[in-house]
Chain A
């Protein structure tokens, strides 16, 4: 598989794996230096905001603690479309820009609603052992998220 295809597949896989709540599988896609963020811009206060920020260990404890919390159990579905893959061969790193739509489906009746839209800005290391996620910035357009959600997008 060529690098571009492998990277594109990694990004799509990260969404599918999270949809299944396979958190271990997700962390296996991440490099040790992984940094995850959810950010957005608030026109109301004219400021960039960070809504969630974790390194790999932080993501792991978030996942490990999930079962101790009271959470909305409606599954979500991340629809990711990889748009741009900028490969830096010398650095063995790629910058990937994707669009993401997150849909939420109710448990009772299975009604699906659009939950959020935004973009993914990912850094992917490639080289020995195949590509791995170095960082992800989920840049949300949607800021009205109702009662919210416990699992990162």
Chain B
């Protein structure tokens, strides 16, 4: 039966953990709160070490909490991160996404910095500042940086944060042994979609939407082992999904994947969601990494990376790339579908559309179509935000009082 206005807004008859108020996807003040309480507190992937292999190689990154960053490898080969903001008049220091800079010189008034973030020259410094201000006062703002879990470069703008290891905890257990070898990024693209970042991470945290993917239905859902895959939740909001043997040749025009992955069973597929918006997706021959970078409540930039082994022969690499392109990449069969899904959610749930609830109510013993992965995310979200995802403005709580 269809519902009237009152019924549409009635609290779903699920436990509070099993639904969310859609204002968490649309409201500007909640988004600003998320930048402060989540993105500026959590470890975030900025890039991969293979993108900056040599001394003085750098990569720029727009941190989802706000600050533009420079990730740069020093002469000592250590990777450090700094705000890409000139301490003088606030100019962008490095304009290109990637490069090599032994000396970072601001184009505006030519202040210079080195790869450890020290100011090494202020043009006509003595003449203008006499002894009142000098290089020692003009260092770059450094951001905590750690390498790990497949050679990714992680940053945390909170000086008082826990270590990356503590943040991840046991969440990467299912992939640990598969990420021992040096990896290399072979695919990179960005997509901007008018949607909320959590909706993208949700899509990476639930497999019920395999109904959307013909490729996944035919190679996965109707194959043995699919409904045995299980979600596991970990502290800090991370979650993993167990493997199965994907039957890639069940899709016409696709074939069983030839190159595998160290330690992974043939056709295997392990997925690990890292709070608040990163996903390791190791599908037989390719590791995909999604990094969700919200630009606003209803605007999302996603960075997509495809990785293979550094030691790949040209033939192996070509095969990984083909495997990747079949379903992922801007012309892949699955990625377009996933992005259409969250684009549609963004259309339907943008401000003032009178959307009200999103339901995460499926319980199937935490197997593949259980919505526990999303519930786990929102429990952590609520904890960090000090707001309930089902009642972000405390209205239900007030009524109950």
Residues of A within 8 A of B (CB): 38, 42-47, 49-53, 57-58, 61-62, 64-65, 68-72, 143-150, 152
Contact = CB atoms under 8 A, between A and B. Distances in A.
B336 A149 contact: yes
B330 A148 contact: yes
B310 to A, nearest CB: 13
Contact of B337 (A51, A65, A70): A70
Contact of B212 (A51, A58, A70, A147): A70
Given A44-B98, A51-B325, A69-B214, A150 B331 contact: yes
Contact of A49 (B186, B191, B212): B186
Given A72-B336, A148-B336, A150-B336, A46 B186 contact: no
B104 interface: no
Contacts of A51: 189, 325, 329-331
A143 B189 contact: yes
B331 A149 contact: yes
Counting chain A CB atoms within 10 Å of each CB, the highest count among B187, B190, B253, B332 belongs to B253
Contacts of A71: 336-337, 340
Nearest to A151: B331
A25 to B, nearest CB: 20
B97 A150 contact: no
24 contacts: A45-B51, A45-B98, A45-B186, A45-B188, A49-B187, A49-B189, A51-B329, A52-B329, A53-B321, A53-B322, A61-B252, A62-B253, A64-B253, A65-B333, A70-B340, A71-B336, A143-B190, A144-B189, A144-B191, A147-B336, A148-B191, A148-B336, A148-B339, A150-B336
A57 to B, nearest CB: 8
Contact of B252 (A42, A46, A64, A72): A64
B190 A43 contact: no
A52 B50 CA distance: 23
Contacts of B332: 148
A70 B216 CA distance: 12
Given A49-B189, A65-B252, 19 more contacts: A42-B188, A43-B97, A44-B98, A45-B51, A45-B98, A45-B188, A50-B325, A51-B325, A51-B331, A52-B329, A61-B253, A65-B214, A65-B251, A65-B333, A68-B214, A70-B337, A147-B191, A148-B329, A150-B333
A3 to B, nearest CB: 32
A69 B217 CA distance: 11
Contacts of A45: 50-51, 98, 185-186, 188
A72 B253 contact: no
Contacts of B230: none
